[in-house]
Amino acid sequence: MFDLSFLGDIKAILGMIAGVIAFLAYVVYVVSIFRGKTKPNRATWWIWAFMGLVVGLSYYASGAENTIWVPFVEFIGPFSIALLSIKYGEGGLENKTDLICLFGAVVSIILWIIFDNPVIALVTNLAVDSFAIIPTIKKSYLRPEGEDFWAWFGTGMADTLNMFAVERFTFAILVYPIYMLVSDLIIIFILLLRKKSIIRDTSFLTKHD
């Protein structure tokens, strides 16, 4: 019989590498803030930090081990940006989507307590996040210059590696990395598509100028 125990170590390493890449993607975003190219919305990032905390805790409580690093970063990153938004950000609690996200995160905690089941909180938060990401998808299509492609590409790489780090193929463990990867790939694809379209249109106008 072959000893496949080393696969567990490899998956653990992949999970940590995924976390590092996810962290670096946020570093790119933070640099963009300091350069004045990005002004994070204060309410949005504070709510995302809160949601990230709930998702991270519920995902860990659901049994995740190797794949916990990315959701951990998904709390640390938004929380850091939320802190920076106090000085470098703009806006406040003026968006209906933000209010829905905040409400959904609070409800997920209540459901977790009532049913004593962290998976319910995890799924509830991911469902709310899927609604919250729609404006970003729309923005990526209409104003692709307002999104940092390399930051999204970095998180896409991290979430791809995180899929290979999954230690147990159960719904509770798989739902987070699958959701994150699909979300990232949608935005990455849109940004690539729009970037090519803009380059093509610019080239056409130059030729006919």
d(CA 202, CA 183): 29
Packing angle between helix 96-115 and helix 118-132, nearest 10 degrees? 170
The segments of the chain whose pLDDT lies below 70 read 1-8, 91-95, 197-209
pLDDT tens digits, 81-96: 989 988 988 766 666 7
With 0-12 / 13-18 / 19 or more C-beta atoms within 10 angstroms meaning exposed / middle / buried, residue 100 is middle
DSSP string, 132-159: HTHHHHHHHHH-GGGS-HHHHHHHHHHH
- DSSP β-bridge partners for residue 41: 90
What pLDDT shows up at residue 132?
A: 72
What pLDDT shows up at residue 168?
A: 83
Of 117, 44, 124, 55, nearest to 84 by C-alpha is: 44
What pLDDT shows up at residue 95?
A: 66
d(CA 21, CA 70): 9
Q: What are phi and psi of 90, to 5 degrees?
A: -150, 165
What pLDDT shows up at residue 189?
A: 92
d(CA 202, CA 166): 43
What pLDDT shows up at residue 148?
A: 76
Cβ atoms of residues 75 and 105 within 8 Å: no
What pLDDT shows up at residue 64?
A: 85
Cβ atoms of residues 104 and 123 within 8 Å: no
